[in-house]
Amino acid sequence: MGLSIGLVGLPNVGKSTTFNALTKAQNAEAANYPFCTIEPNKATVPVPDIRLTELAKIVNPERIQHSTLDFVDIAGLVKGASKGEGLGNKFLSNIRETEVILQIVRCFDDENIVHTEGRIDPLSDVEIIENELIFADIEVLTNRIERLKKQAKNEKDAAAMMAFAEELAEFLAEGNLARNFPKADSEMYEKLMSETRLLSAKEIMYGANVDEDGLSSDNEYVQRLREHAAKHGCEVIKLCAKIEEELVGMEDDERDEFLRDMGVEESGLEQIIRKGFDKLGLMSYFTAGVKEVRAWTIHKNTTAPKAAAVIHNDFEKGFIRAEVIGYEDFIACGGEAKSKEAGKMRLEGKEYIVQDGDIMHFRFNV
């Protein structure tokens, strides 16, 4: 769907290892999306969804196909990226093309792995990266304000937007992210974002990279990162990047047992994919037949005809109605036929808003 999550981080924090684990997950599942072209810096990975497994137990299909999500490995960052230092220009241009930022933050001690800043301080790492986003945004806004000044001589709307942009620029200059601007829910903010695509306006998740001992309980670094994230409405996902690489090659039973021994229920990678999917405003509906049980990716609050178009454009053009069974009903009844007998299948029209987990068949005429 053209939506992606960008991985960012300072050197030696575990970003490359995390991306390598995602790439391995991509390769392991490549047969599930044979028509996807993978660029060297992109990993397209399946979205974990136990519901597909439960549906398959009932339907017994030939194959299962998950929704997928794109991760982009953003060029490494150093201080001064906003001024072109290091690979700064590439970093900023790449991150502008993503919708969510996943910042990998080092939360472990290891004297054999040198930190570029000479110390382990997660909040300092976060500040370095987010300051570069803010500096780049201030430059973009300053240029926008200059253009608006010229337009404001003849256009009333331009004058109002200029004042709004100046207020936002002052907010950024105080070290704040655009996403935390008090007027971020206004129409003017939305219009300005569509024109400027500010980097610090994007959703942010933090990947707290710990060592093996840090998985079962939060160390001091993770606690500090969680406190910071809570203040800014961001998500923290704890992972051990080194272990995530090992997990990808394991069979399901072996992996589950390994995670239980580590004192965790779900791998960090699975959490990142699942929560990233949600942060992008995405959800899945299902089709369930003997050929295939499949998850189809749509935006939340999508109508039935638009959801049908994800399968084929003709489904939307000739949409008549949708046959819908809720996931819980499908499982409780033991399949489509018994769901129909129990009166759990509904016929929905063009205005129906598809719900996460709906099992759907579309009636159409072209």
Q: Is 18 annotated as a binding residue?
A: no
Q: Is 12 annotated as a binding residue?
A: yes
| Alpha-carbon torsion (228, 230, 234, 237), positive or negative | positive
Instruction: Say if residue 207 carries a ligand binding annotation.
Output: no
Structure tokens of 323?
A: 């046959």
14 appears as a binding residue in the annotation: yes
- Indicate the angle between helix axes 268-279 and 15-28, nearest 10 degrees: 90
Beta strands 100-106 and 292-299: pairing type?
Answer: unpaired
Of the candidates 208, 211, 213, 263, the one whose C-alpha atom is nearest the C-alpha of residue 236 is 208
| DSSP three-state, residue 136 | helix
3-state secondary structure of 329: helix
Concatenated DSSP letters of 268-310 = HHHHHHHHHHHHTTEEEEEEE-SSEEEEEEEETT-BHHHHHHT
Dist CA 312 CA 294 (whole Å): 14
Residues tagged in the binding site annotation for ATP: 12-17
Residues tagged in the binding site annotation: 12-17
